[in-house]
Each structure stands twice: as C-alpha cells, then as structure tokens.
Structure 1
Amino acid sequence: MEYVNQTFESTTVSLDGNSYTGCSFRDVIFVYAGGPLEMENCAMDRFSFQFDGDLSRGLFTLYQLFGTEGMLTILRGFTQPGEGGEITLPVG
C-alpha cells in the first residue's frame, strides 16, 4: 500500500510491502519482517521496532552466535559504514 503525507501517531505501523512518502511517525511501533519497503522524506519522533518472521529468527540467531556486543557491531556496520575491511565479532 502507498501512504503519502500521512501522520501516524501512537499506533503500530507495518512496514513490509508498503511505501511511505512525506509521512510523519510519532510514538509508533514499526513492525518489520524483512519484506520490501520504500520510505522517502519521512519524519520520525519516538519510535520502536518489533521484528517478525524470518528476519526475527535471523536476528535471534545472530544474537545467539555473537551476543549483544556482536549484534551492535553488525548494526553499526549498516548505520555507520567504514572504509571497508574486516570486522572482528566476539563469539560468546
């Protein structure tokens, strides 16, 4: 579904298979299972994520393999990419 210039407040928002353009999100829970998503020029204030489906199982597996610090290292790799090179993950 395509959402344009809509405001979402104090609700749960399913991301999978949806498109959001110019939308505002405040006090929402984003639910994401790894499906296609388009988001452009949106504003966000106070939100949390709930992962579902295969994505949830994959993240839990990574957590079991690498623990909290390893998961944070992996997430930082997506949000703060460096110059490339090797990442050392703690095993535990």
Structure 2
Amino acid sequence: MEFDHDGETFEGGSISIDNKNFRNCTFQNVVIQYAGGPVEMVGSTMNSFSFQFGGDLAQGLFTLYQLFGTDGMLQIIRGFTDPQPGEIVIKV
C-alpha cells in the first residue's frame, strides 16, 4: 500500500484527515479536521491535538449529544476505547 503521508510531522495549524492514510507520522499542536471519511493510521503519534468535526459526522455527534447529554456521550466514547460491563459496547 502506498501512503499519502509517510514519516511526516504536522505541527501547528489544522489538517483534514478524511480519505487519507498516514504511516509513522507525528501530529503536534494541530487541529484535526474529520468529517467521517475513511482514514488509516499506522505507527503514528498524536501530541497536544484537538478535533474539529464536520459534515454528517458532526450532525450525528450533535444528535447523540441531544439524545444522551454529556454523560451519555462519554459512555459512548468509552464504548469505543474501554468498554465496561453494563455500558454501551460499540462493535465495528
């Protein structure tokens, strides 16, 4: 597979990651823009970053927030990262 970005460092500013793939890249003090397109990251690291969501993904996240509030959103996120018994489990 050929990577769009290989061994690059992104520092400051913002970067859209939709429809791209990254290998051995570093993201430092960046705003990561994401609207739900496919992304592949292999061996990359992120330090001091924030997300800016767009498109249908942003609308979907806002709808989940309206339905479940902050605590519900945190439980959904934990379902991806560290599911606990009795919580929502996300299967992909």
> What is the TM-score normalised by the length of structure 2?
0.87
Task: Report the counterpart of residue 69 of structure 2 in structure 1.
Answer: 67
Aligned length: 86
Using the aligned pairs only, state the percent identity: 51
1:43 to 42, 45, 59: 45
Q: Mind listing any 5+ residue stretches in structure 2 that lack a counterpart?
A: none
Moved over 2 A (4+): none
Q: Please report how far the alpha carbon of residue 44 of structure 1 lies from its aligned counterpart in structure 2 after TM superposition.
A: 1.3
Query: Could you say what secondary structure the match of 1:76 adopts?
Result: helix
Q: Please report how far the alpha carbon of residue 43 of structure 1 lies from its aligned counterpart in structure 2 after TM superposition.
A: 1.5
Task: Report the counterpart of residue 87 of structure 1 in structure 2.
Answer: 87
Structure 2 residue 36 is the aligned partner of structure 1 residue 34? yes
> What is the TM-score normalised by the length of structure 1?
0.87
Counterparts of 1:57 and 1:40 in 2: how far apart (Å)?
28
Query: Could you say what secondary structure the match of 2:83 adopts?
Result: coil
